Amino acid sequence: MQSQGWFQDLDPDDVDGAVASIREGSASSPQEWPSEAVAAGFVPDESAYYDRLHEVTVEATRSQVAERERADDQQLIHAVRTIDDLAATTNELTERLTEWAGSYYGESASGAEYVAKIAGREPGDPVEARIVSLANRVTDLQDERETIDAFVRREAPAVCPNLSMLAGPVLATRLIALAGGLEQLAKKPSGTVQVLGAEDALFAHLRGHASSPKHGVIYTHEYVRGTTPEQRGSAARALAGKLAIAARIDHYSGDRRPGLQDELDERMARIRSRGGDE
């Protein structure tokens, strides 16, 4: 923003130019902007100035939010949440389908293979037609979930290369989603990263109803899940520390650093060789 104000050299009807001036400009010190805008002929009076300022600031905020929602990390968040929604819906519909099909065919079976078997049948009456149709819908949802999962695995390494390298693309995306974005994750200390996904247990601990959780969603990582209970706290702390560093590098520089994986592997080897928690 120039010293003459954000409205300097703008046509009063140029909304895009005003939005750009609001978002990108700056001023070294405050001035009597309303009266200067009137004097410059930008608006007829101060009331009109404030109306115009409100209009362009709202539009500037709207455009910034839209850009943020289109950001790559936000698209990964939408994708991983869709995976979870599809999994929950598919599981529920699979249970309903197997119950319905079991009563019709006199069979006792369940699971994805049984759903696929039903989907391949040729219906012989209106009831069976509905059962087979539902089975096909369930298989379509299963296929869509697998497709989106493949999308996350393909795209995450480009968005967060170091986090994906250490955690795997899906867990990396889940951490980003739990934090609200890559920038938000990059600003969190390792202790917070360690318990992301364990908020209910953490709140119970703060209320004095449970012990402090050792880990959240990072439990799904082999270095935590595959470690003995006695070593799990140390493993979770070590992993969370490296993940926090990886998130910061991904957000602030974006260059891939393979040495992080070597450091994590060495740290885990030392933890496992001790046979106990720290």
Measured between its terminal Cα atoms, the distance across the chain in Å is 54
114-140 tens-digit pLDDT: 999 999 999 999 999 999 999 999 999
| pLDDT for 2 beyond 50 | no
Mean pLDDT of 93-116: 93
| pLDDT for 237 beyond 80 | yes
Helices (H) and strands (E) in the chain, counts: 14, 0
Give residue 219's pLDDT band: very low, low, confident or very high (50, 70, 90). Answer: very high
| pLDDT for 102 beyond 90 | yes
Lowest mean pLDDT among 4-18, 186-200, 233-247: 4-18
Residue found by looking up tokens 């497709």 in the block = 147
59-100 tens-digit pLDDT: 777 666 655 544 689 999 999 999 999 999 999 999 999 999
Rounded to an integer, what distance in angstroms lies between the CA atom of residue 186 and that of residue 170? 17
From the list 225, 245, 230, the residue with the least C-alpha distance to 175 is 245
pLDDT of residue 70: 46
pTM: 0.72
Rounded to an integer, what distance in angstroms lies between the CA atom of residue 132 and that of residue 99? 13
| pLDDT for 3 beyond 60 | no
From the list 178, 148, 172, 139, the residue with the least C-alpha distance to 260 is 172
- Scored b (16 or more CB within 10 A) or e, 94-106 reads beebbebbeeeee
Residue found by looking up tokens 């209106």 in the block = 126
Four-way CATH pick for 160-274: 3.30.465.10, 3.30.460.80, 3.30.70.360, 1.10.246.90: 1.10.246.90
Mean pLDDT of 43-61: 82
Give residue 4's pLDDT band: very low, low, confident or very high (50, 70, 90). Answer: low
Rounded to an integer, what distance in angstroms lies between the CA atom of residue 186 and that of residue 243? 9
**Statement: 72-157 belongs to CATH 1.10.287.4070:** yes
152-191 tens-digit pLDDT: 999 999 999 999 999 999 999 999 999 999 999 999 999 9
pLDDT of residue 146: 97
